[in-house]
Amino acid sequence: MKTVSEHLGAVLDLLQPLPPLDVVLHDAVGCVLAEDILAGGDLPERDLAGIDGYAVISRDVDGATPQSQVTLRVLDEIVAGSVDDHRVVTGSALKVASGAPLPGGADAVVPLEDTDGGRAAVHVRSGPAPGSFVRRQGEDLRTGEIAIAAGERIGARQIALLAALGRARVAVHPRPRVVLVSVGDELTEPGRRASAGQVFDANGHALATAVQDAGGATFRVAAVPDERTRLAETLEDQLVRADVVITTGGLSYGGNDTVKEVLAQLGQVRFDNVAIAPGRQFGVGVIGGQTSGTSTPVICLPGDPAAAQVGYEVFVRPALLAMAGHSERYRPTVPAAVTQAWDSPAGRRQFVPVTVLGSPDTGYRATPVGVPGRLSVSAMSRANGLAVVPEDVTTVEAGAQLHCLVLES
């Protein structure tokens, strides 16, 4: 039997980081930067007024107070975006808007509220030090400096900087394009009336959401019955847009090994019993587009929705993050004392949905949601973590410390 680590290793080996792609800013959000972004110019590109007020020569207003005001002649007004050349001379000031270019000669700005706001002449009530309320050319970034290094994740604050630098496109590791195929004669779409024996397809919807949470782009195919031709056609149709194909189900003997036989025709996919609970058989390999000549990684997960979710968390999510260039691939874990005892299958690493409560100060406690070992989509839905029972533990004692994966709420 393959260990959890061995199977994860095989999946990580298969899903290598995607080559960089040049994308527009909007499509870069959530992606990992694949190039160092250098400042193409100084930021700000020249000295700017940092506040609405009057650009002055600080010497002229040295010692000004409400009781001892200084009067300056106002030469002109400058707004943000102005391109005119202005110059302050001794005894004069220029009215400036916040963000306006600082006129030549000026070395400080007196805030509007420290003046009478005069148009021809202004009474100044404070004497700012040289450099006050001035944003110096290049004080934020100098030409050629690294603004954002390759490997950083691009969020709102990085978008602000990229846009401020005038970048409309950047090279990123693109989102993995993931095609999801649920396999099973018994599956029907939510919203339809299920006839006797039919089960609603939960995996397609749930894994599409989970893949998007991990930054992937998903293409969900409506559930495919256990028919070799239909499945083969579906997979071949989808290869053109897939970086990865994930199948769920079709692995029980009752499915007549549809998935295994079809994938054997289309490529090399290895199936193993993996020492995990829940879950049993897992597949990993490549299928080739006969037309395209390329080969596409394929991951096969169990059909039960609770087992598929756990399999996704343990084997697929870290590999998708690696594919997208992330260095952080794993959920955070906390050590937690379990509040009840249960039996765990010998020789398998068991993942049990739990509610983790506590804090770093008080320590964490983990309470199983539902019956440990029982497959339950409602328990998965209510849990906020997965307690990890090592392979060699067959009885989890109440109070035992287990590592718990923290799922997003």
Q: Which of 198, 333, 355, 367 binds its own copies (CB under 8 A)?
A: 198
Residues in 288-307 that interact with its own copies by CB under 8 A: 303-306
Q: How many residues bind its own copies (CB under 8 A)?
A: 97
DSSP string, 209-266: HHHHHTT-EEEEEEEE-S-HHHHHHHHHHHHTT-SEEEEEE--SGGGTTHHHHHHHHH
Q: How far is CA 395 from CA 190, 237, 340, 345, in A?
A: 38, 47, 11, 9
Tell me if 20 contacts its own copies by CB under 8 A.
Answer: no
Rounded least distance, CB 293 to its own copies, Å: 33
- C-alpha–C-alpha distance, residues 19 and 283, integer Å: 25
The residue (of 109 and 266) whose beta carbon lies closer to its own copies is 109
Identify the residue among 56, 61, 206, 231 touching its own copies (CB under 8 A).
Answer: 206
DSSP annotation of 174: P
If binding is defined by CB under 8 A, does position 169 make contact with its own copies?
yes
Q: State the minimum distance, in angstroms, from the CB of residue 239 to its own copies.
A: 23
Here's the x/- map for its own copies, 125-164, by CB under 8 A: it reads as: ----------x---xxx-----xx----x-xxxxxxxxxx
Q: Which of 35, 42, 76, 186 binds its own copies (CB under 8 A)?
A: 186
The set of residues, in sequence order, having a beta carbon less than 8 Å from that of 63 and lying 6+ positions away, is: 127
Q: Do 235 and 224 touch, CB atoms closer than 8 A?
A: no
> In DSSP terms, which residues pair with 135 in a beta bridge?
48
Binding residue (CB under 8 A) for its own copies from 13, 213, 237, 397 = 213
Helices 258-266 + 228-239 axis angle, to 10 = 50
**Contact partners, residue 10, CB within 8 Å, separation at least 6:** 270, 284
CB atoms under 10 Å from CB of 86, counted, come to 19
Binder of its own copies out of 13, 189, 233, 343 (CB under 8 A):
189
Tell which positions 248-267 bind its own copies, by CB under 8 A: 252-255
Binding window for its own copies (CB under 8 A); candidates: 11-19, 67-75, 369-377, 387-395: 369-377
Identity of the residue, 114 or 287, whose beta carbon is nearer to its own copies in the bound complex: 114
Please identify which residue in 262, 380, 389, 393 interacts with its own copies, judged by CB under 8 A: 380
Sign of the Cα torsion 272, 273, 276, 280 reads: positive
Contact flag: residue 399 with its own copies (CB under 8 A): no
Among 115, 203, 344, 350, binds its own copies (CB under 8 A): 203
What length does the chain have? 409
Of the residues 374, 394, 397, 398, which one makes contact with its own copies according to CB under 8 A: 374
Distance CA 181, CA 24 (A): 30
Q: How far is the CB of 230 from its own copies (least distance, A)?
A: 15
The residues in 47-106 that bind its own copies, with binding defined as CB under 8 A, are 50-52, 77-83, 96-101
- Minimal distance, residue 299 CB to its own copies, in Å: 16
Binding residue (CB under 8 A) for its own copies from 20, 103, 127, 204? 204
Residue type, 283: G
Identify the three-state secondary structure at position 350.
strand
What the block records as the tokens of 149 is: 């290094």
Contact residue for its own copies among 378, 394, 395, 401 (CB under 8 A): 378
Bridge partners, 388 (sequence order): 351, 403
Closest-CA residue to 381 (of 232, 182, 209) = 209
Stretch that binds its own copies, among 15-23, 207-215, 336-344, 388-396 (CB under 8 A): 207-215
Instruction: Look at the block and give the residue holding tokens 């590791």.
Output: 173
394 touches its own copies (CB under 8 A): no
At residue 386, φ and ψ (nearest 5 deg) are -125, 115
Residue 262 or 266 with smaller CB distance to its own copies? 262
Contact between residue 186 and residue 225 where contact means Cβ atoms under 8 Å apart: no
**Considering the rule CB under 8 A, would residue 209 count as an interface residue with its own copies?**
yes
Question: In the complex with its own copies, which residue's Cβ is closer, 9 or 222?
Answer: 222
Burial (CB count within 10 angstroms: exposed 0-12, middle 13-18, buried 19+), residue 213: exposed
Q: How far is the CB of 112 from its own copies (least distance, A)?
A: 7
| Piece of the chain touching its own copies by CB under 8 A; list 46-54, 264-272, 339-347, 390-398 | 46-54
> Among 173, 171, 139, 168, which Cα is nearest to 31's?
173
Smallest separation, CB 289 to its own copies (Å) = 27
Q: Does 196 bind its own copies (CB under 8 A)?
A: yes
